[in-house]
Amino acid sequence: KAGVTQTPRYLIKTRGQQVTLSCSPISGHRSVSWYQQTPGQGLQFLFEYFSETQRNKGNFPGRFSGRQFSNSRSEMNVSTLELGDSALYLCASSNLAGGNNEQFFGPGTRLTVL
């Protein structure tokens, strides 16, 4: 089974621009979660999608948004980029079988905002 894939792997943007990151979960997984990782704040939960519905959202401003498609692929969008948005963005998928939520992570998208 193929793992979680994320595109692009690296991205450089300038302040004020917007960016869209993509995540394809493991086949059969319907839950997709997004996390931001920075040296200062560590790993922080952004949001979770299940069956095209946002089920949970972390403490991030409205500039961060996401969506999930019928094939479970997910995108996240960051508008009006700030320098502090530079981070590794990780996507994880889970099948939530038996109430477990083992998250399988993709390689991440490293976003640099100049």
**Contact set with other proteins (CB under 8 A):** 4, 31-33, 35, 41-45, 48, 50, 55-56, 58, 88, 90, 92, 94, 96, 99-108, 110
From the list 58, 97, 96, 101, the residue with the least C-alpha distance to 76 is 58
Least separation, in Å, of the C-beta of 35 and other proteins? 8
Is the CB of 80 or the CB of 102 nearer to other proteins? 102
Is the CB of 3 or the CB of 16 nearer to other proteins? 3
Is the CB of 16 or the CB of 39 nearer to other proteins? 39
**φ and ψ at 94, to 5 degrees?**
-150, 150
Least separation, in Å, of the C-beta of 78 and other proteins? 19
State which H helix or E strand residue 112 sits in.
Answer: strand 109-113
**Helical segments of the chain, H only:** none
Q: CA-CA-CA-CA torsion for 25, 26, 30, 33, nearest 10 degrees?
A: -40
Least separation, in Å, of the C-beta of 107 and other proteins? 4
